[in-house]
Structure 1
Amino acid sequence: MAERRSIFEEVTETQKPAATPGGVSRDRSRARRLVRGWLMILFALVVVMIAVGGLTRLTDSGLSITEWAPLSGAIPPLSEADWQAEFDAYRAIPEYQLQNRGMSMAEFQVIYWWEWGHRQLGRFIGLVWAVGFLGLLATRNIPKGWTGRLLFLGALGGVQGAIGWWMVHSGLQEGMLDVASYRLATHLGLAFLILSLIAWYVMRLGREQAELFSARREGDRKLKGMSTGVMHLAFLQIIVGALVAGIDAGRNYTDWPLMAGGLTPPGMWAIEPVWRNLFENDGTVQFIHRMLGYLLVLVALGAWIASLRSARKATRTAFNDMMAMMVVQIFLGVVTVMTSATWYLAILHQFGAVVLMVLILRARFLSMYPLKQSVRG
């Protein structure tokens, strides 16, 4: 039988600790910051990868490794016998027989290390993605609704590796001195798609979900549509630029604004069947690249003029930055052509495409999700 208590006995109760104000939202913010930081590291690595890929192409190093070994290929040749085996494999392909016959072992090692470094960087990016994703998943630091998006990035990275080998394999076929230009364009296009998705995710994770929902109601649909058009044209221009690089079209027709003294290059449709000129005729491909560049500037100019009427200062600034970089990129393109695609200018032009695409995405993002500002702006 329970012991009776005196009516004068002091009674104390164990109280549960008070909930920390804002605890749930703070945890969500921390998760968004962690994922955003990881994505920013991936973004920087993909930018470096694009630059290294461009240099690999410009140094004619891409065909120096003639097999795809995702795991064992991470180990470079460690003995003279290993190096000789790699060199013998390279000497069996058309690039050596038709273009580099007589190359020394030392010269071969230079191009081999370029391609090996390119592939190693790809492996490292895959490792950073896997470790980051699994770590965030295990610690439950992936915001709600983001698991599928982050998995999709990893899947695209895997596809990119397979496309890289598909591209290299085309250059090993009889009569080929380089990789197929359309496969190179596919490879670079997917790289820019991955880069753009990462940039977009970083922008979204930089603001709270509730803030994005609120901002979307105040978005400018016209500016969003116009910036979307600029984005699509810029992506198409990047693809055509890869076709230019794939057939070394940037090293011919070095006059501007004319081409070989005329409005159009000679023999634009000389290759049969005619459709092959769009991919294999250096004059035709460079002409398309130039015309598409002019069109891109005009469409971007229209979006920029429309943005001047926006009441949001941050949105106007984003479109100003986009337009300024557009002018810089056109200038870089002209100088690159007029210097017959000197390697450092070609890489700078490619890097300019990265900067421009990110600025286009930022302008589009702020037209969709404008930042709050005071009445005074």
Structure 2
Amino acid sequence: MQLSPTLPAGTASSDAKARPYRRAVRIWLYLLAFLVIVMVALGGATRLTGSGLSITEWRPVTGSVPPLSAADWAVEFEKYRDTPQYRILNEGMGIDSFKTLYWWEWGHRLLGRLIGLAFFLPLIVFWVHGALDRRLALGLVTLGIVGAFQGAIGWVMVASGLQPGMTAVAPLKLALHLTTASIILAGLVWLAAGTREDALTPAPARIRAGAVVVMLLVLVQIGLGGLVAGSHAGLAYNTWPTMNGDLVPPLDGLFSATPWIENFVDNVTLVQFNHRLAAYCVVLAALLHALDTRLTLPGSGAARRATGVACLTLGQVALGIATLLLAVPLWAALAHQVFAMLVLTMASAHARLSGGTAATATAIHPPAVPFGFEQLAGRRA
């Protein structure tokens, strides 16, 4: 889409000139959000196939080129054979099986690099053309910084699985990696929803607060789900609504590790119990918020969005229960993880739109010069 310069604020053609900017920015942000969801899905597949430790080095630039010859593959395979995961779990694996693991992890890392390019290159173009107001620019720069750190967090996670005696990454680092990706997704959707073209009146304060609370609870639940995935707690109790006959497991089972704080990360009983409790809290909060919104603002867009969020949380709980009862098959685990991202997407959009949007927000009256170049413009004048 060609970006043309806008006329000064207040002219008759200002709105018409700015609309392509705002629409392009919104499409770009939602496309990035979609890519993040794909990234989370690919990361889940990488974890569930045991592929995450197949690449033993972090090479942000040169690592984008995969092995191109039999000699290159032999070198990479020898590095993997030196890992605890190979010696403990995969000893005797052939190079063809290793290549399958490698391609999963390489694809995950490559998509991360592509997302970085898809973020920063358009950001520069929009910035130079004055398509971003100060608040949106600040939000995007913040997300860019978080995204840059996400790559480092991913490597710290992988490195934890290469330590002696480890056959998988540390659960806490996996949860941090997943939660950071979720925060990036929520931020992209929040900013994209704020570029809506028509004005929305803010919902009452109670409704706005409820929408934000639901969104934050979903984020917390995703983090707890990362602990479940990292510790393989989903395989420990494959019954519902009880945990092998107990609605609440005995305290000596919930806090069997010392020091007690480690139970929240490494004790599969407490990790799964916390994930179940948080799921009930998310659904209860979403249902109460939807009921409150429908009674306070009947027939409104906020009521429809709140209802949609509540329905998605119910669907996610049902999918989670099915995943548990089926003993976490690959397809169910991936569906559960991806659906969590959809719940977060809807909750984030609802929370942002509940705060209202003005018709002049985000590039209806864009700055006459790109944000950050005002002093230079003043000197020219």
TM-score (norm 1): 0.88
Partner of 1:271: 257
Partner of 2:157: 167
Is residue 2:93 matched to residue 1:103?
Answer: yes
Distance 2:93 2:249 in 1: 35
Partner of 1:246: 230
Aligned match for 2:142, one of 137, 147, 152:
152
Distance 1:332 1:36 in 2: 31
Moved more, 61-70 or 146-155: 146-155
Distance 1:312 1:222 in 2: 18
Partner of 2:128: 138
Is residue 2:272 matched to residue 1:290?
Answer: no
Partner of 1:88: 78
- The alignment partner of 2:44 has SS state of helix
List aligned pairs for 1:2-81, cutoff 5 A.
Answer: 22-81=12-71
The answer (yes or no) to whether the contact 1:251–1:341 under 8 Å persists in 2 is yes
Distance 1:235 1:268 in 2: 23
Partner of 1:357: 344
Aligned match for 1:323, one of 300, 310, 327:
310
Distance 1:192 1:272 in 2: 31
Distance 1:142 1:295 in 2: 38
Query: What amino acid maps onto 2:307 in structure 1?
Result: N
- The alignment partner of 1:146 has SS state of helix
Partner of 2:375: none
Moved more, 220-229 or 260-269: 260-269
Distance 1:263 1:343 in 2: 27
Unmatched runs of 5 consecutive residues or more in structure 2: 1-8, 360-381
Percent identity over the alignment?
A: 38
The answer (yes or no) to whether the contact 2:283–2:313 under 8 Å persists in 1 is yes
Distance 2:353 2:117 in 1: 32
Query: What amino acid maps onto 2:61 in structure 1?
Result: L
List aligned pairs for 1:200-239, cutoff 5 A.
Answer: 200-207=190-197, 211=199, 215-216=201-202, 219-239=203-223
Q: Could you say if the C-alpha distance between residues 274 and 134 of structure 1 is closer, same or farther in structure 2, counting changes exceeding 3 Å?
A: same
Moved more, 357-366 or 326-335: 357-366
Structure showing greater relative contact order (alpha-carbon pairs closer than 8 Å, 6 or more residues apart): 2
Distance 2:204 2:50 in 1: 46
Distance 1:264 1:340 in 2: 20
Distance 2:323 2:357 in 1: 36
Distance 1:149 1:360 in 2: 19
Is residue 2:301 matched to residue 1:314?
Answer: yes
The answer (yes or no) to whether the contact 1:58–1:343 under 8 Å persists in 2 is yes
Per-residue deviation, 1:27: 2.4
- The alignment partner of 2:243 has SS state of coil
Instruction: Kindly tell me the number of residue pairs found equivalent between the two proteins.
Output: 348
Partner of 2:179: 189
Distance 2:264 2:173 in 1: 14
Partner of 1:8: none
Superimposed CA distance per residue, residues 176-203 of structure 1 (whole angstroms, 9 cap, x where no aligned partner): 1111111111100010100001101111
Per-residue deviation, 1:371: 10
- The alignment partner of 1:205 has SS state of coil
Distance 2:62 2:306 in 1: 47
The answer (yes or no) to whether the contact 1:314–1:371 under 8 Å persists in 2 is no
Partner of 1:4: none
Distance 1:259 1:371 in 2: 49
Aligned match for 1:333, one of 300, 320, 329:
320
Structure number, greater radius of gyration = 1
Distance 2:14 2:358 in 1: 24
Per-residue deviation, 1:352: 1.3
Query: What amino acid maps onto 1:257 in structure 2?
Result: P
Distance 2:191 2:63 in 1: 32
Query: What amino acid maps onto 1:221 in structure 2?
Result: A
Per-residue deviation, 1:144: 4.5
- The alignment partner of 1:53 has SS state of helix
Query: What amino acid maps onto 2:234 in structure 1?
Result: G
Partner of 2:369: none
Query: What amino acid maps onto 2:97 in structure 1?
Result: E
Unmatched runs of 5 consecutive residues or more in structure 1: 1-18, 373-377
- The alignment partner of 2:254 has SS state of coil
Query: What amino acid maps onto 1:270 in structure 2?
Result: S
Moved more, 279-288 or 146-155: 146-155
Moved more, 28-37 or 357-366: 357-366
Is residue 2:178 matched to residue 1:176?
Answer: no
CA RMSD of superposed structures (Å): 1.9
Distance 2:164 2:38 in 1: 32
Aligned match for 1:304, one of 290, 310, 313:
290
Query: What amino acid maps onto 1:317 in structure 2?
Result: R
Query: What amino acid maps onto 1:332 in structure 2?
Result: L
Per-residue deviation, 1:76: 0.5
Is residue 2:355 matched to residue 1:368?
Answer: yes
Per-residue deviation, 1:148: 2.0
Distance 1:130 1:363 in 2: 26
The runs of at least 4 consecutive aligned structure 1 residues that moved more than 4 Å come to none
Per-residue deviation, 1:28: 2.5
